[in-house]
Structure 1
Amino acid sequence: MAAHRAPLTNHHPDHSVCTPDHKHTSSGKPLHPDCPGRSYSQAVCTCGSWEFKGSAKGYVNESRKRHLATHTPPAPKVPVVLRARLRLDLP
């Protein structure tokens, strides 16, 4: 199983996705002439049971990282023969 992801996306006031080339100030004011500004940021995890939306991009990113840390990393895919020889099961 692949590791879970929770990509962070920014959204305009009309709920459309704000593309990555639209740069903003830390308060969300647009620096790109065609951007109406960032209204909120959102992260949705691929596990399907977590999503977070907020106006502070930094807080959304922090919550996203905290959630991803709760997922256990996938077990290494080592053939049984090698696992026995390399003793990967030792603590």
Structure 2
Amino acid sequence: MTFRVPLTNHHADGTDCPADHKHTSSGKPLHPDCLGRTYSQAVCSRGDWQMKNPGKGYVNECRKRHLASHPKQEVTGPKVLRDLLRLDAP
């Protein structure tokens, strides 16, 4: 199973800040209808980890670290078959 840890941005009232709302590095809105990014959040689809912080970069770095901590899955499917049936093998 593949796990995901999506990063989402939120306004002060808790509503999602859409991806098309651009901000300065401090979270101030560049989109005319945006209230500004108050915090960013990442939640693991496995359900055992989440991170919420005003710093988007910090949340993103923690999100990547968490994803890297998941055990690697065994590769199956067409790539394994191609590797087993390599026609270019000596």
TM class by smaller structure? 0.7 to 0.9
- 1:56 corresponds to 2:55: yes
Q: Distance in 1 between matches of 2:77 and 2:66?
A: 27
Calculate percent identity across the aligned residue pairs. 64
Q: Distance in 1 between matches of 2:65 and 2:46?
A: 14
Describe the SS at the equivalent of 1:69. Answer: helix
Root-mean-square deviation over aligned CA pairs:
1.6
Stretches of structure 1 lacking an aligned partner (at least 5 in a row): 87-91
Residues 1-91 of structure 1 mapped to structure 2, 5 A cutoff: 1=1, 3-78=2-77, 86=84
Stretches of structure 2 lacking an aligned partner (at least 5 in a row): 85-90
Q: Distance in 2 between matches of 1:75 and 1:62?
A: 25
Runs of 4+ in 1 over 2 A off after TM superposition: none
| Change in CA separation of 1:73 and 1:32 when aligned onto 2, cut-off 3 Å | same
Structure 1 residue 76, shift from structure 2 partner: 1.1
Q: Distance in 2 between matches of 1:61 and 1:26?
A: 13
| Count of residues in correspondence between the two structures | 81
